[in-house]
Amino acid sequence: MLKIDAIHLREINMPLAYPFETSFGLTTGRRILLIELESDGLTAWGECVAGEHPYFSDEMIDTAWIITETELAPRLLEAELSGGGSCPDLFKPVRGHRMAKAAIENAVWDLEAQLEGVALSELLGGTRKVIPCGVSIGIQPSLEQLLDKIATELDAGYQRIKLKCKHGWDTRIFEAVRARWPEILLSCDANSAYRMRDFDHIASWDQFNLLMIEQPLWYDDFYFHAMLQKQIETAICLDESIRNRRDALAAIDMESCRIINIKVGRVGGFSEAIAVHNAAAERGIPVWCGGMLETGIGRAHNIALSSLPNFSLPGDVSASSRYWAQDIVDPPITVSAKGEILVPTTSGSGYPILKDRIESLTVRRTSLHAKARVTV
């Protein structure tokens, strides 16, 4: 049995090494909610991937903070857990707020791994020793800058290039990239930038031999994605729409997508991420691990998740240095010249925390403690 003695919430502010632009906006720095759990002398961390604004999903750091402080943390402090797998039931009375739930649940899994002295990847059921890596490249100020950036990432060894796209930054860009690199694994991510009137426009991208088109339509849609998938050859990959295993089953059954991006924060934690992974695997649908501009804490958790067998496509899990001048874990996450990350085999997440650096980045904090326990 696992008992949590204290939960510390903190907000850190970290400037991004490079601005990141998607169809829903520009990010230059991040406000990040970190969760620290204390249990019997052990410490485990979780990262909440909610953004500063509710633009990717309906969650944001401030909603995650209040839900964690007022609903999730008190439940956790009163619970007797068998491990991370106990969290979904514990948090079930709270609807939604999956990114807030995931930050805590993932920290509990991390704690459980430390307690058992196994690698987090092993605890999750991972089998891969290395994971294949791709990069997500934001919308750039110019085509020249985009081509330079792609050249740099390919030189670094990354196995797949994903281009953020939107109206005015799509066909022309794909054409130029394909003209220079006809053979690379290339995909695009629209973050819901298109509508039904764009179906013919999207169908014209079939000529670019994209590995997938990620979330072209509404963030909460399956039906119209299924309609679009029937009209194009390129595989659709869903990100935003997939909130849980049932969504994955519905999307697969309706043929709304042929590939699924799993983000552990978006689905509410490792338990549900594993359930989505398994449901997809049983139906022959490959998955890959998405990213949310995480620090090393979230990145380490993504690496552990990516070690599960059906994560067969390169994910968006890349080196710390692509986002941060200095990460909050040491060593930072690095990618080999073959575009792979080695899955740690040491106990827990395998990436020790830089506590002093976290302290210096902290702008807000609060702590909750378990009531004194009486043993009879």
Interactions with ligand OSB, residue window 230-289 (CB under 6 A)? 239
Cα 122 to chain centroid, rounded: 19
In the block, residue with structure tokens 């702008």: 363
Q: Are 61 and 68 in contact (CB under 8 A)?
A: no
Spatial distance between the Cα atoms of 129 and 342, rounded to a whole number of angstroms: 6
**What does each C-alpha distance from 38 to 91, 116, 123, 209 come to in angstroms?**
19, 16, 19, 49
Judged by CB under 5 A, the residue of 59, 239, 294, 327 near Mg ion is: 239
Judged by CB under 6 A, the residue of 46, 290, 296, 350 near ligand OSB is: 290
- Exposure string for 119-151, b = 16+ CB within 10 A, e = fewer: bbbbbbebebeebbbbbbbbbbeeeeebbebbe
Among residues 116 and 220, whose Cβ is nearest to ligand OSB? 220
Judged by CB under 6 A, the residue of 216, 265, 291, 350 near ligand OSB is: 291
Residue 290 Cβ vs Mg ion, minimum distance, rounded to whole Å: 6
Residue 291 Cβ vs ligand OSB, minimum distance, rounded to whole Å: 2
Residue 59 site contact among Mg ion, ligand OSB, none (CB < 5 to 8 Å, cut-off depends on kind) = none
Angle between helices 270-282 and 245-253 (to 10 degrees): 20
The site for ligand OSB, by CB under 6 A, has a size of 12
Catalytic residues: 164, 263
Task: Name which of 271, 274, 293 is nearest 282 in CA terms.
Answer: 274
Residue number with the shortest CB distance to ligand OSB? 291
Residue 340 site contact among ligand OSB, Mg ion, none (CB < 5 to 8 Å, cut-off depends on kind) = none
Does the footprint of ligand OSB cover residue 293 (CB under 6 A)? yes
Does the footprint of ligand OSB cover residue 153 (CB under 6 A)? no
Residue 39 Cβ vs ligand OSB, minimum distance, rounded to whole Å: 29
Among residues 235 and 354, whose Cβ is nearest to Mg ion? 235
Among residues 139 and 329, whose Cβ is nearest to Mg ion? 139
Judged by CB under 6 A, the residue of 318, 333, 349, 351 near ligand OSB is: 318
Residue 164 Cβ vs Mg ion, minimum distance, rounded to whole Å: 8
Residue 318 site contact among ligand OSB, Mg ion, none (CB < 5 to 8 Å, cut-off depends on kind) = ligand OSB
Interactions with ligand OSB, residue window 62-121 (CB under 6 A)? none
In the block, residue with structure tokens 């990432």: 153
Judged by CB under 6 A, the residue of 189, 247, 272, 340 near ligand OSB is: 189
Dihedral sign, Cα of residue 308, residue 345, residue 271, residue 300: negative
Task: Give, rounded to a whole angstrom, the gap between the first and last alpha carbons of the chain.
Answer: 17
Q: Are 269 and 246 in contact (CB under 8 A)?
A: no
Q: Are 288 and 315 in contact (CB under 8 A)?
A: yes
User: Looking at 114-122, 141-149, 236-244, 297-305, which segment touches Mg ion (CB under 5 A)?
Assistant: 236-244
Among residues 114 and 241, whose Cβ is nearest to ligand OSB? 241
Among residues 59 and 239, whose Cβ is nearest to ligand OSB? 239
| Those residues with Cβ within 8 angstroms of residue 240's Cβ, 6 or more apart along the chain or in another chain | 56, 57, 191, 192, 215, 219, 220, 266
Residue 116 Cβ vs Mg ion, minimum distance, rounded to whole Å: 33
**What does each C-alpha distance from 172 to 47, 128, 205, 234 come to in angstroms?**
37, 37, 10, 18
Judged by CB under 6 A, the residue of 191, 310, 320, 349 near ligand OSB is: 191
Judged by CB under 6 A, the residue of 57, 136, 159, 187 near ligand OSB is: 136
State the pairing for strand pair 340-342/287-289. unpaired
Cα 138 to chain centroid, rounded: 16
Q: Is 215 exposed, middle or buried (0-12, 13-18, 19+ CB in 10 A)?
A: buried
Interactions with Mg ion, residue window 151-190 (CB under 5 A)? 189
User: Looking at 231-239, 267-275, 328-336, 340-348, which segment touches Mg ion (CB under 5 A)?
Assistant: 231-239
**Interface residues toward ligand OSB, by CB under 6 A:** 22, 56, 136, 189, 191, 239, 290-293, 316, 318
**Interface residues toward Mg ion, by CB under 5 A:** 189, 214, 239
